[in-house]
Structure formats: structure tokens, C-alpha cells
Amino acid sequence: MTSNTKRTVLVTGGCGFIGSNLVPHLVEQGNQVKVYDNLSRGRAEWVAASRAEVIQGDILDASALGRALEGVDAVVHLAAYGSVVESVQAPLPNFDNNVRGTFNVLDAARQARVRKVVFASTGGALIGNATPPVSEQSLPKPISPYGASKLCGEAYCNAFGLAYGMQTVALRFANVYGPISAHKKGAITVFIKALMTGTPITIYGDGSASRDFLYVEDLCRGIGLALKTELAPGTVMHLAAANEVTVKDLAKSIARVAGKPDHPIEYFDKRPGEVDRNFARYDLAKSLIGFEPRWSFEDGIKATWEWFQELGDAALQIGTSDS
């Protein structure tokens, strides 16, 4: 069942990559949007045009969260440490932000009587090495602290949903890409910057590792559909493209779009904690909320490259992060 009621939505981490694409989408749908972000990685200027209210605060600050949630109908919880590699190097900060932070969001929402919480989870890192395509029926076996932290978040969403009657929804994101991502650490950003600077593209492993890449506009539409659809507490869904792309093919595709098909690629040892192969089915999301990707991989890569070109040298000056 779909509800067309206008609502007040709080987006944690709303000044990051996904948030800065999502916030205008939610505003356009008629929602009143509040952004809660500590601005350590995101920038308020990235959502300024949407005229959403920006509250500077940290998800580890339960009191500030409680104040921000006053009058809120729904929460989209994006704030997290999203780097697999960083989580292996320093697991404690990842735990604090992703597990304790998610608990704080859920508990503050419970106390504020927020009806719905949509949690940003992950597919590949949570499930680990499994024969793709994966689905909601796949057994989670995370191989990185990051994946484990998202599995903990899903467990708390399920528990809060059933114990307190909250409509909690965990959306397992594929690898998301698109505009406003110059600060990201993901492969697409790194490869594009290598092409812009004329340096070799760096691949860890032999390039056969695969991912499922979802254009950010499709993801935002999926989040919007999950927000306005009545769902059972603890619902878990994959938002994916169901399209397996190897890292080597990804690099070649971006180089081709950039007009540099012969750009050099250098290979280094595989990094620990990273999944070998992954792509996911989105059948359940299609059935429950009507989600289906509209952007092809090729069109999404082209649009992302064009955004970087419009930004020009300024894109190279933006530091990398995982928000």
C-alpha cells in the first residue's frame, strides 16, 4: 500500500554523496526535509539549492539527535563510515559510527515516536563471498568489519521494528555512483580522477572482481518508494541493477567514455576484506515497492563523467571520503 501523505523526513548524513542527491528528490516529492550531518565529510553547500534545513550534529550525540527528531515523521539513516578498507585498518571507529550510531538513531526515533526508519545497508560487504546473484535469502557472512557493522544495523532495525512497532526498512545498496561524488573513495571516482590527471588507473587484484553498479538517481527513487510504501517492520530489500561488471571492464568502460581507450592500467595485490564477485537481484523490491532501475550502466557512466568534466580541476581538489 502506498501513502501519498506529505511528511517531514530527517536524513542523517544528508550532506554526503547519496544524501545530496536524495534531499532534492525528497523535496521535489513534496516532503519537508531536515538534514542532520556532522559535516566531517559532506558539505552543506551540496544541498543548499534544495532549501532543506541543515542541522549540524553527530549521530553519536543522542541528545542532539533527539532534538533534531522533534516533529519528524520518518528518518532516512545514511550517516556511516562506508570504507571496507578503512574498516579493516581501524575497526573501532567503524563500529562506533555504524553500530552505536545506528542504535542511537533507532532509539532516538523510538523516543520521538517516529513512525518509519529507512536504513542504508549494503549487499556485497554484508553477505561476503557468495555465488551471485545474491538476494534477501542469501546467508550473510561478512568478511570485513564494515559488512559486519551493517549486519548489526539490520539486526537492530528488525528488533526495534518488532519490539516497538516501528516501521523499519533496511535497503541493501549496490555500488552507487553518479554526480556529487568527487570526494568518494570508490573505484569510479578514483578511475575518473586518474583519467583526468593522466596517471595510470590502479586496480587491486587481477581485475576479475565484480560489482553491481547502481546509478544514484535510481537509488534515490528506490528510497523514495520505500518511504511512501507501507511495509512490514524489519523488511529487508536489495536496491541493485542485477548487472555484474568486473573491475577491469569498469576501468575500460570509463576510459572509453573519456575518449582514452588505451589509458594505462596498473595492477597491485588484492586488499583484504574486499569481496571477489557480487551482484544482486532486486525482485523483492520490484514486488513490494515497484522498484526497477531506469539507467543503463553505459548511460550512468557517461553522465558521471560529464559531471566531473563540468566541475573540472575543482573535482581534483576535493578530498576523498566515504560519505
48 lies in the same domain as 82: yes
Query: Would you state the pLDDT for residue 323?
Result: 46
Residue 107 lies in a domain: yes
What does DSSP assign to residue 229? B
Residue 43, domain extent = 8-176+213-239
CATH code (residue 158): 3.40.50.720
Write out residues in the chain with pLDDT < 50, as ranges. 321-323
Query: Would you state the pLDDT for residue 1?
Result: 55
Nearest residue to 128 via CA among 186, 84, 188, 81: 84
Query: Would you state the pLDDT for residue 318?
Result: 85
What span, in angstroms and rounded, lies between the C-alpha atoms of 147 and 152? Answer: 9
150 lies in the same domain as 197: no
Cα angle 111-61-154, degrees, rounded to a multiple of 5:
65
Query: Would you state the pLDDT for residue 172?
Result: 98
What span, in angstroms and rounded, lies between the C-alpha atoms of 171 and 284? Answer: 11
Number of domains within the chain: 2
Query: Would you state the pLDDT for residue 322?
Result: 47
- Locate all alpha helices (DSSP H) within the chain, ordered by sequence: 17-28, 62-68, 84-89, 91-95, 101-111, 124-127, 145-164, 187-197, 216-228, 247-257, 283-289, 297-311, 313-317
What residues act catalytically?
146
87 lies in the same domain as 182: no
Question: C-alpha cell of 223?
Answer: 528510497
